[in-house]
Structure 1
């Protein structure tokens, strides 16, 4: 008989899981309070980051920690209440960022990242979404030679161990690619493997449309309750009650709270982020996605304008927006590229779902047959959604997975 599966969460991760299960003959219903791709997946930088084989570690050196304390950096901001609210997972995150722990985590994380392009490719083709995707990589720009040289060493290591491809650009090479970039930029790394997406939310929506075209169902409604009834699962939404053989929780930054109701207490926390779109001062044009690596923000030539995305803000997910970090990033960005007026009436705010060992949970819930979990992808849910979908679908069907899934088990916490 056809297996009935409810996938909760219609971001990149949830939609990708639904897509893979639909391909394998499951009767899939995707449930979210909003349309697919309108929450966290909507607001990211739009890069499928094949080069990101090293997850973001917590700063450990005293110089960096002291520079964060005044709370004026562009790449990271915090609020005391938010830090206190997540003190336990943040301390664990700091511990896992030690050299000894981090060396163990990197190859496990990289095993996921290495699947990202191969997993996105068939979905892009099936969804007819090629028009959203560019396969020209992106630029990581630098102001100082010492910082660039250090990053080149890391890139060489990524190439040796994980096949990451890149070019090093001097000032003349940068000017050929980005003639309107400010003179402060002296060099860059051109990451060659990644693909960039001109409208991230639209790519998620295209994947979701392909799910429905092949028989899947999407229900837009608030989830009110999740419970096991005998050997089946019941999900109560504001609109209706749904039952299925299996449930997948792919609720991103909301997953931790929902899992508490089922008796699980995962150490989830969030890194908030903002974006804003800008016009450019004619005749300037931004040709590539640019990360200002020594400052900590990214500029991207999106369909809606040049999108500036901020670094991390450590605060509670529900706290009011604070646009000071965005304002600080905008001030620096205007000094290196001729941005014009803002195009959005207010900054977009979202939250990246994180776990303290920098790896997502992908696999079965330890104590509930038929309950599957996929959340905690940090900065890389957009990159890793399709790979997660493929791996979880294999696990749900009892098939061998392309990589070892033990590092992503839920019972590691």
Structure 2
């Protein structure tokens, strides 16, 4: 046991009228919505990197947090794990997620990194035996260390490619050992700054082969979880190969992986790509590659990824509406890829950031469930496309330009536009909030 969270109670559901800060007002894990409990629907996960490894820095300032586990010794890595599992218990968190570099000290070489990771994985395994918290996904940090300054899979140096591939193997092994339900590949620096020193075709081939190798290894070891790619635009590299869902899907098709790999979509990344979160979710659903989500928000006045905890129920409602339309999560879930503000120093802040976010997501999902169950929004959308369900409309999709021209000419067709009724539909959505 640590004393970091001393005095903070286990968070329980008390309902929307509660005045207690340390309580859930909307997230009752046992509440049944559309045939499943909120715990089963939302599948909350705590991000190890932001909650326990991040030091409170920003682009213009260094560390502001003072955590007793900060340091490079294995004993401190285990103290960090002790604190993490205490927080998981306080929140009743069903899952957590981690990168290798979040949980183990950086070694002098690959072999020492691997030994450190294997030791902490066994420590995790012992902690998980007495915990209800499971691993949603694991991943490799192939972006923070200076060796990855020019990418990992896309690096011009084959030794960095090899180091990265070996690291992915160790992290997939760790995920498998801990019963993880997914493995994520986040190409933090899989991009370029300028074409003056970049062979884009070569780098895409390298990235494609790395992903193919990860899929091959998944099947070799019998890992039943999903392989996920997390789309990431712009930051930190100017041009990212995994810019958004559409770009990732084209990449997967190019390398024959569209049936093997799904996407882990982050709200903040969607915004940086110039999309809404629900757009990215809807497209992933339409393409059949929806897997999991990182839930956070950006500061809309900043042009970078601020990773703030979600606090906007209308936004989360529209996101979970698309999740529910996709059939809900299978192996995926809601990972809080969110961090405290660097002035929020206290242990209480870390707990309450998650409490508020879990409440916002629960409220949003319940709104989404009402919208879906009521069916009015879907009925309005179906009515707009009703012409395509007629025999004439269906025939168009199997016709050709000459036949269609003859039809239009013969029937003297001159269509009049019909209202999209956007404001009416926005008013309809607001009724559920």
Higher share in helix: 2
TM-score by length of 1: 0.29
Structure with higher Rg: it is 2
Structure number with higher relative contact order (C-alpha < 8 Å, ≥ 6 residues apart): 1
TM-score by length of 2: 0.28
Higher share in strand: 1
